[in-house]
Amino acid sequence: MTVDAAGGGSESGTPVGRRVVLGMLGLGALGVVAGKGIQGGIDTALAPLQRLDPTGLGSLIPGDYFRIYTVTSGYPYESDANYRLTVDGMVDKPLTLQLSDLQAMPPTSMVRTFQCVTGWQVPNVHWTGVKLSDLLAEASVAKGATALRFESFDGLYTESLTLDQAARPDIIVAYSMLGGPVSREHGGPVRLYVAPMYGYKSIKWLSRISVVDRVEPGYWEDNGYAVDGWIGHSNGYGS
Amino acid sequence: MATVPKSSEVTPAGGTSGARIERFDAVERAVHWTTAFLFAVLILTGAALYLQPVAAIVGRRYLVEQIHVYCGIALPLPVLAALSGSWGRGIRADLKRFNRWTGADRAWLRATAQSRPVRLKKREAVALGKFNAGQKLNAAWTAGGGLVMLGTGLIMRFYQPWPLSWRTGATFVHDWLAAAIVAVAVGHIGMALRHPEALDSMRSGLVSRQWAAANAPRWLEDVAPSEPVQPTS
């Protein structure tokens, strides 16, 4: 004598569980395809509420804001006064610049969407800094150089650009973002901002720019990300 | 189709209540706790990836990301391993029970909207099987939510084939669903703590006959219709 494993006739009925699962899969797929627009609408709707939010708990609500990345333990710190940026390698005139030196150079400002390769984005981010090409001109790049290697004072993170890429006017050594000095968690006092590429190219806590004769893949690039991280059309692959 | 001799689910045990009844077999309990462990790691590493104050303390983004990704990929494996062999008889039977909804389940669920005395009275009047509608919903939610989290996580991790707007959409789904899943998991743990015997059955596998009579009378009829316990066939 046996009974049905599901408990015989007493447990027969409508397969609601399966419908719920399939419905969630459908909603999930819809969310992937349409989520960008939906999140934009939610941000617009919540913006006035979050401005009034005295608790800060509003930041727990998912939305289009910065996810703070650090590859070492915690955030490295350097004071504005002690900060130094070195430009060296294949240059005729190596530079060691203080924050005030950078701020004394002709500024470039732009407002752009910050785009992470994994998908999150922050619209309308305001940036100010010095064109990377201006710094390189000041240091006078030597013949035979083709690329740049960037180092962070976190001691671990590195990045790369070709000299051709570095000539673009929308790549800056930034000391201001979001309407104020670059904060510690965003990579202050000084970080790179590579507007046409994914966020991982915009190295934080920038301390050294070396002019070199070949591209050395940076931190995330060693872990599989594209060396040429053009937003959109490279789809993450080099293009 | 797995069929279970009635008496094989009856496990004699001591105590004044007479026999205790097996609610979850060892495979099901192992699946539950390995999944729960993976889930806890996913929540903790997810917090370290997502919440700025936690990220500030933990850092080490690459390592945390690797743990999160591999635990995420591993999340369905305990269930799949349990379903893949003859040892999965119990979990297969319970999945069928989770799937099928009876009129009693609907009546039980409708009572949710009522005031507490009315709700308790209405729920007492319906004879449920092994799981109530809340447990069935939780099971479907966990399965569907887990699959959607896995899919959106894979889009973010293996991002190359997908359009950028899909990756943004996957982030949107993963963020909001994670918040909802954590809320439901907190509710799940809260329910377990308020129902110690149900919680204990996920540890020992066993419930008392009284518990089964009060919470799952039709299941009790099926697996152990009467005392004394029949000898095993």
Tens-level pLDDT at each residue, chain A (239 residues): 334 444 444 457 899 999 999 999 999 999 999 988 888 888 788 777 766 666 666 666 777 788 889 999 889 999 999 999 999 999 999 999 999 999 999 999 999 999 998 889 998 999 999 999 999 999 999 999 999 999 999 999 999 999 999 999 999 999 999 999 999 999 999 999 999 999 999 999 999 999 999 999 999 999 888 899 999 765 544 33
Interface test with A, best of B50, B51, B171, B182 (most A CBs within 10 A): B171
Q: Which residue has the tokens 């918040």?
A: B179
- Per-residue pLDDT of A162-212, as tens digits, reads 999 999 999 999 999 999 999 999 999 999 999 999 999 999 999 999 999
pLDDT at A65 (0 to 100): 80
Interface test with B, best of A12, A19, A27, A36 (most B CBs within 10 A): A36
- Per-residue pLDDT of B179-201, as tens digits, reads 999 999 999 999 999 999 999 99
pLDDT at A238 (0 to 100): 36
Q: B18 or A141: whose pLDDT is higher?
A: A141
Burial track B35-65 (b if 16+ CB lie within 10 A, e otherwise): beebbebbbbbbbbbbbeebbbebbbbbebb
Report chain B's mean pLDDT, rounded to a whole number.
89
Tokens linked to A128: 């100010």
3-class secondary structure, A56 = coil
Bridge partners (DSSP) of residue A87 are A95, A209
The mean per-residue pLDDT over the stretch B10-38 comes to 80
Contacts B2 to A, Cβ<8 Å: 5
- Smallest Cβ–Cβ distance between B159 and the set A117, A223, A232 belongs to A117
Of B156, B195, B189, which Cα lies nearest the Cα of B175? B156
Rounded CA separation A203/A10 (Å): 63
Rounded CA separation B152/A152 (Å): 31
Q: Which residue has the tokens 């000299």?
A: A163
Highest mean pLDDT among A19-23, A233-237, B162-166, B168-172: A19-23
3-class secondary structure, A134 = helix
* Chain B contact for A233 (CB, 8 A cutoff): no
Bridge partners (DSSP) of residue A61 are none
* Chain B contact for A26 (CB, 8 A cutoff): no
For the CA atoms of A74, A75, A78, A83, the dihedral, rounded to the nearest 10 degrees, stands at: 130
The mean per-residue pLDDT over the stretch B7-19 comes to 47
Residues in chain B: 233
Contacts A74 to B, Cβ<8 Å: 56-57, 59
pLDDT at A136 (0 to 100): 97
CB B133 within 8 A of CB B108: yes
pLDDT at A48 (0 to 100): 72
User: Does residue B170 have a pLDDT over 90?
Assistant: yes
CB B45 within 8 A of CB B71: yes
Sequence spans of domains, chain B: 11-223
Bridge partners (DSSP) of residue A171 are A194
pLDDT at B227 (0 to 100): 58
Question: In chain B, whose CA is at the least distance from the CA of A7?
Answer: B222
Contacts B140 to A, Cβ<8 Å: 16-18, 20-21, 24
**Is A35 close to B171, i.e. CB distance below 8 A?**
yes
pLDDT at A1 (0 to 100): 37
Rounded CA separation B19/B208 (Å): 7
Contacts B221 to A, Cβ<8 Å: 10
CATH level 2 (architecture), domain A85-222: Alpha-Beta Complex (3.90)
Q: Which residue has the tokens 């051709």?
A: A164
Rounded CA separation B105/B134 (Å): 9
Helices (H), chain B: 26-50, 52-58, 61-74, 77-83, 89-99, 103-110, 116-125, 133-157, 164-194, 196-204, 209-215, 217-223
DSSP 8-state code for residue A84: -
The mean per-residue pLDDT over the stretch B148-171 comes to 92
In A68-200, DSSP assigns E strands to 85-89, 95-97, 108-115, 121-131, 147-152, 158-162, 171-177, 180-181, 191-194
pLDDT at B5 (0 to 100): 43
- Per-residue pLDDT of B40-85, as tens digits, reads 999 999 999 988 889 888 999 999 999 999 999 999 999 999 999 9
Q: Where in chain A is the domain with CATH 3.90.420.10?
A: 85-222
Rounded CA separation B131/A10 (Å): 12
pLDDT at A57 (0 to 100): 62
User: Does residue B229 have a pLDDT over 90?
Assistant: no
Predicted confidence band at B18 (pLDDT cuts at 50, 70, 90)? Answer: low
In A153-231, DSSP assigns E strands to 158-162, 171-177, 180-181, 191-194, 206-212
Rounded CA separation B219/B207 (Å): 12
Tokens linked to B164: 């950028």
- Please, what's the largest Cα pairwise distance for chain B? 65
CB atoms within 10 A of CB A214: 10
Helix (H) or strand (E) holding B10: strand B10-11
Tokens linked to A16: 């609601």
**Is B100 close to A10, i.e. CB distance below 8 A?**
no
Cα angle A71-B55-A220, degrees, rounded to a multiple of 5: 25
Q: How far is residue B103 CA from its own chain's centroid?
A: 22
**Is B61 close to A70, i.e. CB distance below 8 A?**
yes
Contacts A16 to B, Cβ<8 Å: 99-101, 105, 136, 140
CATH level 2 (architecture), domain B11-223: Up-down Bundle (1.20)
Contacts B49 to A, Cβ<8 Å: 67
Of A204, A191, A222, A217, which Cα lies nearest the Cα of A68? A204
- Contacts for A109 with CB less than 8 Å, ≥ 6 apart: A126, A127, A128
Contacts A31 to B, Cβ<8 Å: 152, 169, 172-173, 176
What Å distances lie between residue A19 and A2, A24, B98, B144, B181, CA to CA? Answer: 29, 8, 12, 10, 19
**Is A13 close to B143, i.e. CB distance below 8 A?**
no
**Torsions phi, psi of A142, nearest 5?**
-80, 160
Of B3, B20, B4, which Cα lies nearest the Cα of B12? B20
pLDDT at A38 (0 to 100): 86
